[in-house]
C-alpha cells in the first residue's frame, strides 16, 4: 500500500493532504490510517492464521488503544491483549467481547483481577506465584473458573534497547525457569479447583528484527512443556509466543515480512514437538506495534528556528516529549518530512526540538530538510505505536487530537485536550 507521496508542494498520507489536516484540526496532531491497520490484519490472517492450523492472534493494545481501535480489532476477528484495569475498561466501554480478551501485567491489583473475573475475560496471563494465590482466593469467593496462561522468562535476550527487552532471566516479567519455582507455579495451578491452566506465555521484547531469538525461545518452551508432561501428566493446550516484530522507523532498520518471524516460530514448534513426541499446542502471537506503528504519523507546526553558527540549527516544533517520549526514553530514531515543501530538495541539516523545558526534548537529531521556517508543517512518520499511549501533560501541555483516516473520510476519534481539561480534576483547599 502506497502510504505517502508528494503532490505539487504537499505531502499526502494515504491520499489525504497532511497540510490541510494540520490547518483544519490544529497541531500537534496524531493521524492514523484505518486502511493500513486493516491491511496489516489481512496480512496477519494470510501469513499466519489461515496458513497454519490451531493459531490465534491478539492485538497488543498497549501500543495504541482507544474505543475505536477496539472496534476495528473486533471486526477483524482478533483477540485483544490488555495490561491494566484502564485498558480492560476501555475494551468494556467499546463492548469488545470479553472472552476474546487476554489480561497481562506483572503486578495486577486485587481490584483489577476482580474486574477481569467478574467480566469473564478469556485468559489471565499469570506473572507470579503470588498472583496464582490471589486468583484462587477471588475465584473461590466468586465461585468461578478462571482460565490462565503462565508467563515465563525463557532466558533469551532479544537485541533491542534494554528498556524494552523482556525475555532475559533478569526481568521483572514472568516466572523464571528455575526448578523449585516454575514447577511450584504449575503444580499450584493444576491442583486448584478454580483455576484452569491452559498453557504458557513468553515475550522477548519490542521491535526485534531477528527470528532466531524466537526459535530459541520456542525450543526452550517446548522442552518445558515436555518436562511438565513427564512430571505432572499435564498436556499444554496453548503456547503464546508474544509479539515484538520490528517495523520501519528509519533506513538503519532491517525490516522483515511477518512470515519471517511466524514461519520460524511454526517450523520450530512443529519439528520440536514431533522430535519430543508431544502434541502441538495452539500457537498465539501478540503483535501490537507491527499492526499500528506504520499506520500513524504526527503533524507539528514549526516555531523558532535557532541557528548556532558552526554548531547546530535547532528547529522547534509545537510538541515533543509529552506527545512522543520515545526519543528521550530510549533514543528512538524517526524520519520526518516538511509536509508543505515535500517537493523541495533537502539542503540543510537541522535538529528537531520539542517545546518542553528539558534539554533532552529532542525529537530528531540531524535531519536533512529544505529551507525551513516558522509556520511550516513537519510530518514525523511511523508514530502510530507508543506515542499516544505514552503521552503526558508534562509542562501542562494538552494532549493532541487523533484523526482517523478511513478511505476518503476523516473522523476525530479523540478530541484535543483543553486547558480546562488540565485542571478539571484539581481542587483548592478552603482558606487558600
DSSP assignment of 166-230 = --SSS-SSSEE--TTTHHHHHHHHHH-SSEEEEEEE---BSSB--THHHHHHHHHHHHHHHHHHH
Query: Cell for 304?
Result: 523558532
Task: Say what the pLDDT of residue 178 is.
Answer: 85
Judge if the upstream peptide bond of residue 28 is cis by omega within 30 degrees of 0: yes
Average pLDDT of 252-280? Answer: 95
Count of C-beta atoms within a 10 Å radius of residue 268? 21
Average pLDDT of 387-412? Answer: 97
Average pLDDT of 92-100? Answer: 98
Which one is the CATH code of 34-292: 3.20.20.70, 3.20.20.10, 3.50.50.60, 3.40.640.10?
Answer: 3.20.20.10
Could you tell me whether strands 123-126 and 16-17 are parallel, antiparallel, or unpaired per DSSP bridges?
Answer: unpaired
Task: Say what the pLDDT of residue 179 is.
Answer: 82
Please tell me what DSSP assigns to residue 47. Answer: I
342 phi and psi, to 5 degrees? -70, -15
* Residue 401 confidence class, pLDDT cut points 50, 70, 90: very high
Q: How far apart are CA 341 and CA 18, in angstroms?
A: 11
Average pLDDT of 177-197? Answer: 93
Task: Say what the pLDDT of residue 156 is.
Answer: 79
- Identify whether the C-beta of residue 414 lies closer than 8 Å to the C-beta of residue 388: yes
Angle at which helices 110-118 and 85-93 cross, to 10°: 30
Which stretch of 137-151, 171-185, 286-300 has the lowest confidence by average pLDDT?
Answer: 171-185
Intrachain domains 4-32+293-423 and 34-292 with the same fold: no
* Residue 157 confidence class, pLDDT cut points 50, 70, 90: low
Which CATH code for domain 4-32+293-423? 2.40.37.10
Task: Say what the pLDDT of residue 212 is.
Answer: 92
- Identify whether the C-beta of residue 226 lies closer than 8 Å to the C-beta of residue 263: no
Q: 3-class SS at 115?
A: helix
Task: Say what the pLDDT of residue 330 is.
Answer: 87
Q: How far apart are CA 385 and CA 17, in angstroms?
A: 22
Query: Cell for 254?
Result: 532491517
Average pLDDT of 345-363? Answer: 96
- Identify whether the C-beta of residue 67 lies closer than 8 Å to the C-beta of residue 90: yes
Average pLDDT of 140-157? Answer: 92
User: Annotated catalytic residue: which of 70, 273, 342, 357?
Assistant: 357
* Residue 288 confidence class, pLDDT cut points 50, 70, 90: very high
Q: How far apart are CA 83 and CA 121, in angstroms?
A: 12
Ranges of each domain in the chain: 4-32+293-423, 34-292
Average pLDDT of 59-85? Answer: 98
Tens of pLDDT along 295-321? Answer: 999 999 999 999 999 999 999 999 999
Could you tell me whether strands 101-103 and 348-353 are parallel, antiparallel, or unpaired per DSSP bridges?
Answer: unpaired
Percent pLDDT > 70 in the chain is: 96
| pLDDT higher than threshold 50 for residue 280 | yes
Average pLDDT of 4-23? Answer: 97
Write the secondary structure of 129-154 as one string of H (helix), E (strand) and C (coil): HHHHHHHHHHHHHHCCCEEEEEEEEC
357 is known as an active-site residue: yes
Q: How far apart are CA 81 and CA 88, in angstroms?
A: 9
* Residue 346 confidence class, pLDDT cut points 50, 70, 90: very high
Average pLDDT, the chain: 94
Task: Say what the pLDDT of residue 160 is.
Answer: 43
* Residue 167 confidence class, pLDDT cut points 50, 70, 90: very low
| pLDDT higher than threshold 70 for residue 164 | no
Average pLDDT of 157-182? Answer: 64
| pLDDT higher than threshold 90 for residue 231 | yes
Task: Say what the pLDDT of residue 1 is.
Answer: 61
CB within 8 Å of 409: residues ≥ 6 apart: none
Query: Cell for 45?
Result: 490472517
Task: Say what the pLDDT of residue 165 is.
Answer: 40
Element (H, E) at 225: helix 212-232
Residue 315: strand pairing partners: 305, 352
Q: Which residue has the cell 515480512?
A: 257
Task: Say what the pLDDT of residue 155 is.
Answer: 80
Q: How far apart are CA 305 and CA 375, in angstroms?
A: 10
Q: 3-class SS at 157?
A: coil
Could you tell me whether strands 123-126 and 336-338 are parallel, antiparallel, or unpaired per DSSP bridges?
Answer: unpaired
Count of C-beta atoms within a 10 Å radius of residue 123? 26
Amino acid at each position: 500500500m502506497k502510504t505517502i507521496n508528494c503532490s505539487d508542494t504537499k505531502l499526502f498520507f494515504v491520499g489525504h493532504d497532511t497540510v490541510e489536516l494540520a490547518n483544519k484540526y490544529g497541531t500537534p496532531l496524531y493521524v492514523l490510517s484505518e486502511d493500513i491497520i486493516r491491511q496489516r490484519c489481512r496480512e496477519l490472517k494470510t501469513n499466519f492464521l489461515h496458513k497454519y492450523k490451531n493459531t490465534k492472534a491478539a492485538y497488543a493494545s498497549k501500543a495504541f488503544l482507544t474505543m475505536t481501535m477496539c472496534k476495528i480489532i473486533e471486526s477483524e476477528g482478533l483477540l485483544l491483549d490488555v495490561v491494566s484495569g484502564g485498558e480492560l475498561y476501555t475494551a468494556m466501554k467499546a463492548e469488545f467481547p470479553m472472552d476474546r480478551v487476554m489480561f497481562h501485567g506483572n503486578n495486577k491489583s486485587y481490584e483489577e483481577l476482580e474486574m477481569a473475573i467478574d467480566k469473564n475475560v478469556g485468559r489471565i496471563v499469570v506473572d507470579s506465584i503470588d498472583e496464582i494465590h490471589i486468583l484462587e482466593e477471588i475465584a473461590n469467593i466468586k465461585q468461578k473458573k478462571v482460565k490462565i496462561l503462565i508467563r515465563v522468562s525463557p532466558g533469551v535476550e532479544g537485541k533491542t534497547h534494554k528498556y524494552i527487552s523482556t525475555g532475559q532471566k533478569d526481568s521483572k516479567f514472568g516466572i523464571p525457569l528455575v526448578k523449585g519455582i516454575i514447577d511450584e507455579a504449575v503444580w499450584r495451578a493444576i491442583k486448584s479447583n478454580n483455576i484452569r491452566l491452559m498453557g504458557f506465555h513468553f515475550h522477548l521484547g519490542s521491535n526485534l528484527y531477528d527470528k532466531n531469538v524466537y526459535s530459541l525461545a520456542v525450543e526452550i518452551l517446548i522442552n518445558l512443556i515436555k518436562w511438565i508432561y513427564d512430571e505432572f501428566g499435564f498436556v499444554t493446550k496453548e503456547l503464546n509466543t508474544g509479539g515484538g516484530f520490528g517495523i520501519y522507523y528509519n533506513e538503519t532498520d532491517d525490516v522483515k515480512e511477518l512470515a519471517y518471524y511466524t514461519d520460524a516460530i511454526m517450523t520450530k514448534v512443529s519439528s520440536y514437538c514431533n522430535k519430543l513426541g508431544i502434541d502441538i499446542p495452539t500457537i498465539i502471537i501478540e503483535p501490537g506495534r507491527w499492526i499500528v506503528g506504520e499506520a500513524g504519523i504526527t503533524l507539528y507546526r514549526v516555531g523558532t528556528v535557532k541557528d548556532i553558527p558552526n554548531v547546530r540549527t535547532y528547529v522547534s516544533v509545537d510538541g515533543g516529549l509529552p506527545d512522543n517520549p520515545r526519543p528521550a526514553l530510549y533514543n528512538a530514531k524517526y524520519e520526518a518530512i516538511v509536509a508543505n515543501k515535500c517537493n523541495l530538495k533537502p539542503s540543510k541539516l537541522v535538529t528537531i526540538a520539542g517545546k518542553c523545558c528539558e534539554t533532552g526534548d529532542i525529537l530528531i537529531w540531524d535531519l536533512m530538510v529544505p529551507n525551513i521556517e516558522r509556520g511550516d508543517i513537519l510530518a514525523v512518520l511511523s508514530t502510530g505505536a507508543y506515542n499516544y499511549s505514552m503521552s503526558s501533560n508534562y509542562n501542562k501541555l494538552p494532549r493532541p487530537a487523533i484523526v482517523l483516516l478511513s478511505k476518503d473520510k476523516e473522523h476525530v476519534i479523540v478530541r484535543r485536550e483543553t486547558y480546562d481539561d488540565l485542571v478539571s480534576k484539581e481542587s483548592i483547599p478552603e482558606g487558600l
